[in-house]
Amino acid sequence: MKNPTSAASNEENTIVRWTGKLLKYRWFALSATLLLTMIVGFGGSRIVFQNDYRVFFSKDNPQLQSYEALQAIYTKDDSVLIVLHHPEEEVYSQSFIATIAYTTDEAWKLPFSTRVDSLTNFQNTEAFEDDLIVEDLVPNPENLTQADLDKIENVARNEPIIWNRAISEDPNTAAVAVTLLFPGKDMNEADIVAAAARELGDRIETQHLGMQVKLTGTAMLNSAFSQSAMRDMSTLIPLMYLAIIIMLLILLRSMLSTVATVIIIITSTMIAMGTLGWLGMSMNGVTSSIPIMVMTLAVADSVHFLITFIQNLRTGKTRNEAIKESMRINFQPITITSLTTVIGFLSLNFSDSPPYRDLGNIVAVGVTAAWFFSIVLLPVLLSLFPIKARSRIREGEVKETTGFAEWVIRWKTPVLIMTTIVTVGLALFLPMNKLNDQFVQYFSEATEFRQDTDFITEHLTGFYNLDYNLSSGESGGISNPDYLTHLENFAVWMRGQPEVVQVNSLADTMKRLNKNMHGDDESYFRIPDERDLAAQYLLLFEMSLPYGLDLNNQINVDKSATRMTVTLKDQTTQEIRSLIDRADAWLIQNTPETFHSLPSSPITMFVYISKRNVESMVIGTTIAIFIISFVLALVLRSVRMGAFSLIPNLAPMAIGLGIWALFRGQIGMSIAPVLGMTLGIVVDDTVHFLSKYLRARREKGYNAEDAIRYAFATVGRALVVTTLVLTVGFLLLGTSTFQLNSWMGQLTAIIIAAALIFDFLFLPAFLMIFDKKTHTVKTLGGSFAKPGLAGASAIALAAISLLAFTPDVQAETPEEKGLAIAREADLRDAGYGDWSASLYMVLTNRHGQSSTREMRFMSLETEDEGDKRLSVFDSPRDVEGTAFLSYTYKEKDDDQWLYLPALRRVKRIASNNQSGPFVGSEFAYEDLASQEVEKYTYIYLRDEVVDGQDCYLVEFTPVDENSGYTKQLVWIDKEHYRTIKTEFYDRKNELLKTLTMSGYQQYKDKHWRADKFTMVNHQTGKSTELQFNDYVFSQGLEENLFTRNALNRIR
Amino acid sequence: MTGKSSYKLVGAVLALTSLLNIHADIIDWSGSELDYEIGNETRIYAESPAFPDQLDTWQNSFVFEAEWFVPLIDGNWEFTAKPFYRHDFTDGARTHFDFREFHFRTFQSYWELTLGLQKIFWGVTESQHLVDIINQTDLVENPDGEDKLGQPMIQLTLLPDWGTIDLFIMPYFRERTFPGAEGRLRANLPVIQNGQELRFRRTEENDFADFAVRYSHYIGSVDFGISYFRGMNREAELLPAVLDYRFDDPWSPPNYTLAFEPRYRKVEQFGLDFQLTQGGWLWKLEGIYRNYLKGINRIDPQSLQFFGPGFFSSEAFDDFGAVVGGFEYTFVGVFGSDYDVGVLAEYHYESIGRDSLRPFNNDLFWGARITPNDTADTALLIGGFFDMYNGSQSYRVEFSRRLGDNYTIIVEGQTTANEDVGDPLFFFRNDSFLAIELRRFF
């Protein structure tokens, strides 16, 4: 039956013709595409690198807005933290202090530096008689006595503002904090500072032997972002090219084909990067993975094309023929897989983070370009290159995947069970994945930034902090003792939290000032009792502070609010979120409303982004899943297959995330987009496999197992190759030092590999076990009633197949003609939906004695298989209510159930009884079953006239070995294709019975039904007559009437 | 024999029917159907009885069964009643009336609802119906246990694409019927039946209703069902009881009669049934796990005194699991004839093992079903059980055939051999019989 696909073959003809034209004008096509690539690719020169961590947040991200608001109130603080560490020297030593002082002075000279805080320039306050002395803690670093050093240590230990910040319990480590104000004129400001800081570090290390300098802070973070991106671009991309070239050479064994592929890759990448440039998007850590992704995906398109091309060359075709054939076979799959991949990547637009949106859109552009070049440029290149097939195809060479296919076919049930168990088992680990976005961990431990930051977190202080903008609600209100008490209580509470390393609060300064103003009396180390006093102390203190060390970073202009900075230990973002929630609850419970505030800082943005990202990506991925399933249903022309394809599309993700949970257990910003992205890619495997499988089932009429063999033989190799390429590509991305990219690459690689394994194991096993129905024209007839697109296309296809049938009847060989007649008869009766009739049966023995039975007969046409039939007995009385339900299948035994009313029992009965007599009549079960084309083979014998009607005489040979007949001679009238007479030959090939059918009437202008069936048994002399009455067609009998359950209530 | 409470239910339903009758258009009398049948059964026993009071030689009875069907409310609902009456001329306990069915039912596309009495069958195997627990067995009707009493229930059936879900709420527990003192095929003492006086009857454990749920489906060649039941066990545990104990005259021994008191306990039962159909092969499996929710009931203190406490604490009624599994293979058209011959074998196992008081603890069943596929629907079934612990055996033959259009003859025979004293079959050692039933259908 080639009819359902005749539309497809029309389409294929168009493609072949189109390819012909393309090859004819190949020079034009070549220069046009290359020109286009040049123009678009030129945009690549406009690409700028952006290295601010803020790019991960959209402008309307609430945490970003809040943080920017905070920075507007106080000072904007990007920072560099210079940490000095000497393994042998203590901080409280002459030389170490001298180095700190030196660093402090030098740090002032860093570009954009606005403030430097260190141990040596800490503004210590002391009482001197009635005066307040404010001066550097270490005014003279050159000449320090042991008493000075002891005093420094004493102050440092008791001063919460510097303890755990500039200095800590670790006696070998101290820090100098540099605050920067970036003018924001140049993208590279952070890099400039970072370079200067590194240079300063080198200087210190050479001057002070053994001193180690570690650098961190947001400026270093930003610089690390751009460094990682650069590194990815400069090392991974060449590596990727190398890997692709090696793999292609091995797999294709053709130098020129490899060159052609590389050209496709280059042009596709150029289009993608050019578009990025023209659209004014910037490069950053995330978007730097675009070239690798586009390259990888472009290879996949080309490989399918090339493999078919080379296979055809090796069968002896010319290059142009091979190109045409490859286009014919691959155009549709390549288009579809590109389409699904584009849909998958476009789903990244649901991400909350702009770089991922850019990534999705640009890769989608790149994939589209790769598709375009694969169908335009690649054929042209192949026709220009003098590619020769190395050798003709050898026997047994393509056996690798077929051997595997046989293995799966043989062990389908265990394979299905095992893959299901493994998948479900791994999916159970899914919830073990925890959301975490500690952005320091975005950088691999191989990077300097990560090493330094980890060192600092371990030895000195935390990298993450929370900034609270705590307001008193009145101008000058920060001097209010109530406010200061709240501030102090909050700081105390915060210090009591296990996550907190250090709290910087104005209350500490106030306490110290109060003490100083009372002659350093320790009992006054508390919040001043009166507002006026507090205000005066603060004023006095501020007046004494030198340039650059004012309190503007801590107090707002009208002195109504202060900033409290809480430094955190190394926490997961989930733990940080929990701290924020607890602090919020504490504030609401213990402080006035004006005081309430949520913290803002870089980490708070990251704390919320992964959650927001995951939530929005769930929506995006779900939509992508639906669109892709819809596309698949359309392409495979089967809603069932579209829905079913969800399993092989989703299971690899469950497997991937399950494995991920076992080995990493953390998901963050980078993992959320992976799902939508990989969905589009893993679908490709399913599309290729299912489309080949269905082609075999529909066009070639194969059963499930043969169709599996066919699918493995045709696409098995190509799928392995593309999966290999994709896995290697994404694994390479997985080696990126930028963890957002490396995790994305690793997880994608896992999922893609899992998809292939799943599609090679589960999918075929599942199809063999559950897809027993055959896929033929009748499908279309059955779905007439169903509205919508599927119905419409089914009608269109049915119309085409009707047209296509007419010449088939003139087919040549007797077998073909016999089959054509049977099909025509089948087709002419298709589409009744359902019919029912009452039946009066007269059984006569050879002595002429007769008995009767009455029953009702209902039949329901199904989409893919034989009819479902139900017969209910009305007489004789003792069997009244007995019902018989059968599901007819084209290629396997029927399912049959019997309902025994006395026991109210439904019994599934043996399905080998086709040859047995039906209720003691001369009709066997098989005579009354719905007649499916597939149940017989046919030979047209000759034309004969029966009862004045011109008939075809066709010999039917049952396929089923359980049939009671060796053959049937069937007379079918030429005009309406109705069966007029049938002779049944028994297993000894002797004439057993003759059936004559008479009293034909047409129903619904289509369906012919005989009123009377007369069966005469020549060997026993018995006969049975069936009289059908009250035929009703298409009355809308419901499917659930034909179920096991319905037998219980049938009357 | 129907419990008083179910009479009440039937009464209520009748009242409802008469209410509906006021609106004559609700009932479609023209669509109603009434069929009935009458029959006579004669059982002939080969041996003299084993226990006193039991009837000798033969037993004759008469049966009436009818089915009345009325469509209601434009065919959206239907009413079915199936009264059944057997009159036994020898064993009074076998004379009984029952509504096998008496229900209102509606069926929609994806659900069905049934209110009233009906019979539900669960399971796949032939020689024992382990999973089948909804209906009480009408044991007095036939010792094979295939006959069931109508069970009052609300049944909701849901029909999603992926199977059938049945939910049952069953108010009113029905007790099992047993042959009377005169009857054959009983234990060594008669069982106290409904209505007979006993001071300490069953117990406080009656809940509002029994519940059950079942999911069944078929996938390709496999039919399966899983079920859960919670409520009164249908199986009776027979405990000896002392009746009419009198000790008036100190100079003579006390007067009393002994009988079995049926005990029913609340259980939950998990069931599984499974059938694989492959060509002529049917592979069948049923399994249950039964969990007794409450301990042994209160026992008549006189009985306790009389028999001693040890008699009642048998482990035989502990929680247990049981399976029955086997196959049936059908030869179609043997030797070129129209005859179908099916051979079947099933194995029974129960976790309690040798001490079990239930009959099938480690038994093998074999059988053959012969159907000539003639116009009279003749069928012959022969089968036998073999107890693999003690070697007790029982055999059974069933033959049925239509005579003309309206008569059916059913012949049943049963015999036992090598009955072990410890086997329940021992009670039936003298009860081999042949029963001939003729039915006329109207």
Question: Between B18 and A195, where is the model more confident?
Answer: A195
- The continuous run of DSSP H or E covering A248 comes out as helix A237-252
Question: Chain A: residue nearest B121 by CA?
Answer: A905
Tell me the C-alpha to C-alpha distance, in Å, between residue B113 and each of A276, B104, B106, B168, B220: 64, 8, 5, 10, 27
Q: Does A253 lie at the interface with B, CB-CB under 8 angstroms?
A: no
User: What gap in Å lies between CA B81 and CA B71, rounded to an integer?
Assistant: 12
Amino acid present at A855 = M
Yes or no: say if A652 and A419 are a contact pair by the CB < 8 Å rule: no
User: What gap in Å lies between CA B240 and CA A293, rounded to an integer?
Assistant: 83
Angle of the A26-42 helix axis to the A6-24 helix axis, nearest 10? 90
User: What gap in Å lies between CA A120 and CA A748, rounded to an integer?
Assistant: 51
Chain A residues closer than 8 Å to B279 by CB: 893, 910-912, 962
Our CA-based measurement puts residue A1030 at a distance from the nearest CA of chain B, in whole angstroms, of: 18
Among A532, A564, A599, residue at a domain's last position: A599
Minimum-distance CB partner of A915 among B118, B332, B441: B332
**A879 located within any domain:** yes
Length of chain A: 1051
Q: What's the start-to-end Cα distance of chain A, in Å? A: 40
Residue A522 phi, psi (nearest 5): -55, -30
Q: Does B35 lie at the interface with A, CB-CB under 8 angstroms?
A: yes
Minimum-distance CB partner of A910 among B110, B218, B282: B282
Inspect the interface and report whether the beta carbons of A903 and B121 lie closer than 8 Å. Answer: yes
Chain B residues closer than 8 Å to A847 by CB: none
Residue B127 DSSP class: S
Chain A residues closer than 8 Å to B339 by CB: none
Minimum-distance CB partner of B375 among A851, A880, A1049: A851
Confidence at B16, pLDDT banded by 50, 70, 90: low
pLDDT, tens digit (0-9, with 9 covering 90-100), for B164-219: 999 999 988 888 899 988 899 988 888 887 655 554 444 445 667 889 999 999 88
Q: What is the pLDDT of residue B99?
A: 93
Give the helix ranges, DSSP H, for B247-399. Answer: 301-307
Question: Chain B: residue nearest A1023 by CA?
Answer: B375
Inspect the interface and report whether the beta carbons of A919 and B402 lie closer than 8 Å. Answer: no
Q: Does A392 lie at the interface with B, CB-CB under 8 angstroms?
A: no
Q: What is the pLDDT of residue B86?
A: 95
Inspect the interface and report whether the beta carbons of A917 and B110 lie closer than 8 Å. Answer: no
Minimum-distance CB partner of A880 among B35, B105, B340: B35
Chain B residues closer than 8 Å to A880 by CB: 35
**A1022 located within any domain:** yes
Inspect the interface and report whether the beta carbons of A962 and B332 lie closer than 8 Å. Answer: yes
Among A547, A580, A599, residue at a domain's last position: A599
Inspect the interface and report whether the beta carbons of B377 and A919 lie closer than 8 Å. Answer: yes
Minimum-distance CB partner of B277 among A769, A910, A921: A910
User: For the ranges A400-414, B18-32, B53-67, B280-294, which has the lowest average pLDDT?
Assistant: B18-32
Query: In chain B, positions 172-201, which contact chain A (CB-CB < 8 Å)?
Result: none
Our CA-based measurement puts residue A780 at a distance from the nearest CA of chain B, in whole angstroms, of: 22
Inspect the interface and report whether the beta carbons of B107 and A876 lie closer than 8 Å. Answer: no
Inspect the interface and report whether the beta carbons of B119 and A904 lie closer than 8 Å. Answer: yes
Chain B residues closer than 8 Å to A916 by CB: 332-333, 338, 340, 373
User: What gap in Å lies between CA B42 and CA B345, rounded to an integer?
Assistant: 30
Minimum-distance CB partner of B332 among A913, A920, A1049: A913
Q: What is the pLDDT of residue A810?
A: 42
Inspect the interface and report whether the beta carbons of A908 and B124 lie closer than 8 Å. Answer: yes
What share of chain B has pLDDT > 70, as a percent? 86
- CB contacts < 8 Å between A and B, how many? 110
User: What gap in Å lies between CA A163 and CA A385, rounded to an integer?
Assistant: 72
Our CA-based measurement puts residue A933 at a distance from the nearest CA of chain B, in whole angstroms, of: 21
Q: Does B282 lie at the interface with A, CB-CB under 8 angstroms?
A: yes
The residue range of the domain holding A821 is 816-1047
Assess whether pLDDT exceeds 80 at residue B302: no
Q: Does B253 lie at the interface with A, CB-CB under 8 angstroms?
A: no
Inspect the interface and report whether the beta carbons of B109 and A1044 lie closer than 8 Å. Answer: no
Inspect the interface and report whether the beta carbons of A909 and B282 lie closer than 8 Å. Answer: yes
Q: What is the pLDDT of residue A804?
A: 34
Minimum-distance CB partner of B120 among A875, A893, A904: A904
Inspect the interface and report whether the beta carbons of A1045 and B338 lie closer than 8 Å. Answer: no
Question: Between B72 and B226, where is the model more confident?
Answer: B226
Our CA-based measurement puts residue A957 at a distance from the nearest CA of chain B, in whole angstroms, of: 20
Residue A614 phi, psi (nearest 5): -60, -45
Chain B residues closer than 8 Å to A893 by CB: 279
Inspect the interface and report whether the beta carbons of A877 and B279 lie closer than 8 Å. Answer: no
**A728 located within any domain:** no
Q: What is the pLDDT of residue B57?
A: 86
Question: Average pLDDT by consecutive 10-residue portion of chain A (1051 residues)?
Answer: 45 80 85 89 81 78 82 78 88 87 88 86 80 81 84 83 80 87 77 89 88 87 80 81 85 84 91 89 81 84 83 82 85 83 84 84 92 90 79 50 78 83 83 77 82 85 84 86 90 88 87 84 85 85 79 83 87 84 89 85 80 76 80 78 81 87 79 77 82 81 83 82 84 83 87 89 85 50 33 36 36 78 84 88 87 90 84 88 88 85 87 83 85 86 88 89 87 89 89 91 86 91 90 85 83 74
User: What gap in Å lies between CA A523 and CA B307, rounded to an integer?
Assistant: 91
Q: What is the pLDDT of residue B441?
A: 92
Inspect the interface and report whether the beta carbons of A893 and B279 lie closer than 8 Å. Answer: yes
Chain A residues closer than 8 Å to B280 by CB: 910-913
Mutate to test the interface with A, among B100, B375, B437 (most CBs of A within 10 A): B375
Question: Chain B: residue nearest A1019 by CA?
Answer: B337
Chain A residues closer than 8 Å to B338 by CB: 916-917
**A98 located within any domain:** no
Query: In chain B, positions 50-69, which contact chain A (CB-CB < 8 Å)?
Result: 69
Q: Does B222 lie at the interface with A, CB-CB under 8 angstroms?
A: no
Yes or no: say if B416 and B387 are a contact pair by the CB < 8 Å rule: no
Question: Between B349 and B311, where is the model more confident?
Answer: B349
Q: What is the per-residue burial (b if ≥16 Cβ within 10 Å, else e) of A495-525? A: eeeebbbbbbbbbbbbbbbbbbbeeeeeebe
Burial class (CB in 10 A: 0-12, 13-18, 19+), B238: middle
Q: Domains in chain A: how many in total?
A: 2
Our CA-based measurement puts residue B9 at a distance from the nearest CA of chain A, in whole angstroms, of: 22
Among A583, A599, A615, residue at a domain's last position: A599
For residues A53, A58, A64, A65, the Cα torsion angle rounded to the nearest 10 degrees is 140
> For chain B, what is the mean pLDDT?
84
User: What gap in Å lies between CA B127 and CA B327, rounded to an integer?
Assistant: 11
Locus of tokens 């490069």: A283
- The continuous run of DSSP H or E covering B273 comes out as strand B266-278
Chain A residues closer than 8 Å to B121 by CB: 903-906
Confidence at B366, pLDDT banded by 50, 70, 90: very high
Minimum-distance CB partner of B338 among A893, A908, A917: A917
What does DSSP say about strands B33-45 and A1001-1003: parallel, antiparallel, or unpaired? unpaired
What does DSSP say about strands A113-118 and B151-158: parallel, antiparallel, or unpaired? unpaired
Question: Chain B: residue nearest A854 by CA?
Answer: B405
Q: What is the pLDDT of residue B44?
A: 94
Inspect the interface and report whether the beta carbons of B121 and A893 lie closer than 8 Å. Answer: no
List chain B domain ranges: 4-332
Q: Does A846 lie at the interface with B, CB-CB under 8 angstroms?
A: no
Provide the CATH number for the domain around residue A893. 2.50.20.10
Yes or no: say if A415 and A761 are a contact pair by the CB < 8 Å rule: yes
Q: Does A475 lie at the interface with B, CB-CB under 8 angstroms?
A: no
Confidence at B440, pLDDT banded by 50, 70, 90: very high
Q: What is the pLDDT of residue A571?
A: 78
Burial class (CB in 10 A: 0-12, 13-18, 19+), B176: buried
Question: Chain B: residue nearest A906 by CA?
Answer: B121
Inspect the interface and report whether the beta carbons of A878 and B408 lie closer than 8 Å. Answer: yes
